[in-house]
């Protein structure tokens, strides 16, 4: 059994039906982050495919791995908040369970955060980034939605829609709104509501998922539009001094 030091990094993995990926992902994350004291927190929304049972087996032999099981599918962003609240590390890394984000990118992203950045974004839209095996239409949609969010909400980052980032835990939990809880875009909310953060973007190779089914849907696109509208309203009220 592996002993648990006080973690520096807490890796939060929201899951729903990720049985095909989760064991390999957790193993690889702990390997690449060694020797940095690291914990992995899987937040599972009662996956019917047995994802939670696999994580329970892993955590039974490795105390660095823990599981939060929720009674129903409640949304990726709320899973991120739940994981961050349970985390012990100064830094929280949020990563998708489907291997679209490369675990090898986590150590250099953490190193950059430790150089004084509150948020290090795993960015698809900076020099050095690339897409692999993702349809052009989905790349185009991501680019357009990013551009719209940046212009509407005055966000400086090139990729506010990625689900991959290393964030100071206190910064993440200081997000003053939780409008994104039922959806995916927690990072947009963080960047839109906290203006004085030091933010860096780390170029990543973004891959289409290796197994399982994508969670993207038209419903998520609509919820993103609603999120942007609510955040814009919040920002305007803050500017006007309204309570």
138 lies in some domain: yes
Q: How many domains does the chain have?
A: 1
Q: Which pLDDT does position 136 carry in this prediction?
A: 81
What is residue 213's predicted lDDT score, i.e. its pLDDT?
55
Higher pLDDT, 100 or 239: 100
Q: Residue 32 in contact with residue 103, Cβ under 8 Å? A: yes
**pLDDT tens-digit profile of 3-23?**
568 999 999 999 999 999 999
Q: Is residue 103 part of a domain?
A: yes
The parent domain of residue 228 ranges over 9-240
Contact 180, 189 (CB under 8 A): yes
Residue 4: inside a domain: no
Average pLDDT over residues 210-232: 73
What's the pLDDT tens digit per position in 70-88? Answer: 999 898 999 999 999 999 9
Does residue 82 belong to any structural domain of this protein?
yes
* C-alpha span between 43 and 40 (Å, rounded): 10
Binning pLDDT at 50, 70 and 90, where does residue 110 land? very high
Range with the largest mean pLDDT of 78-92, 126-140, 151-165, 221-235: 78-92
DSSP label of 103:
G
In a domain, 76, yes or no: yes
pLDDT at res. 141:
83
The per-residue b/e assignment along 166-190, b for 16 or more CB within 10 angstroms, e otherwise, is bbbbebbeebeeebbbebbbbbbbb
Give the Å distances, CA to CA, from 70 to 2, 36, 47, 133, 178: 26, 29, 9, 32, 18
pLDDT band for position 1 (50/70/90)?
Answer: very low
Integer Rg of the chain from CA: 17
Residue 1 lies in a domain: no
What gap in Å lies between CA 78 and CA 186, rounded to an integer?
Answer: 8
Residue 229 lies in a domain: yes
For the cut 60, the answer to whether the pLDDT of residue 210 exceeds it is no
Mean pLDDT of 181-199: 92
pLDDT band at 217 (very low <50, low <70, confident <90, very high): low
CATH number at residue 115: 3.90.550.10
Asked whether residue 3 is domain-assigned, the answer is: no
**pLDDT tens digits, residue range 139-183?**
888 888 888 888 999 999 999 999 999 999 999 999 999 999 888
Q: What rounded mean pLDDT belongs to the chain?
A: 91
0.75 surpassed by pTM: yes
Question: Looking at 50-64, 91-105, 126-140, which range is the least confident one?
Answer: 126-140
């Amino acid at each position: 059994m592996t002993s648990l030091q006080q973690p520096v990094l807490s890796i939060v993995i929201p899951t729903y039906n990720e049985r095909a990926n989760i064991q390999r992902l957790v193993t690889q994350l702990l390997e690449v982050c060694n020797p940095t004291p690291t914990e992995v927190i899987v937040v599972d929304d009662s996956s019917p495919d047995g994802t939670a049972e696999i994580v329970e087996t892993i955590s039974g032999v490795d105390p660095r791995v823990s599981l939060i099981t929720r009674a129903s599918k409640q949304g990726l962003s709320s899973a991120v908040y739940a994981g961050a609240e349970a985390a012990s590390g100064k830094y929280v890394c949020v990563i998708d369970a489907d291997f679209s984000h490369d675990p090898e990118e986590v150590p250099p992203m953490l190193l950059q955060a430790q150089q004084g950045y509150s948020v290090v974004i795993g960015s698809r839209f900076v020099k050095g980034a690339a897409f692999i095996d993702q349809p052009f239409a989905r790349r185009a949609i991501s680019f357009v939605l990013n551009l719209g969010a940046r212009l509407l909400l005055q966000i400086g980052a090139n990729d506010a829609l990625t689900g991959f980032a290393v964030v100071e835990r206190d910064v993440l939990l200081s997000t003053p709104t939780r409008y994104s809880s039922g959806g995916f875009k927690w990072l947009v909310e963080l960047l839109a509501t906290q203006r004085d953060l030091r933010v860096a973007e780390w170029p990543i190779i973004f891959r289409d998922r290796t197994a399982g089914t994508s969670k993207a849907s038209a419903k998520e696109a609509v919820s993103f539009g609603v999120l942007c509208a609510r955040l814009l309203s919040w920002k305007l009220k803050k500017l006007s001094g309204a309570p």
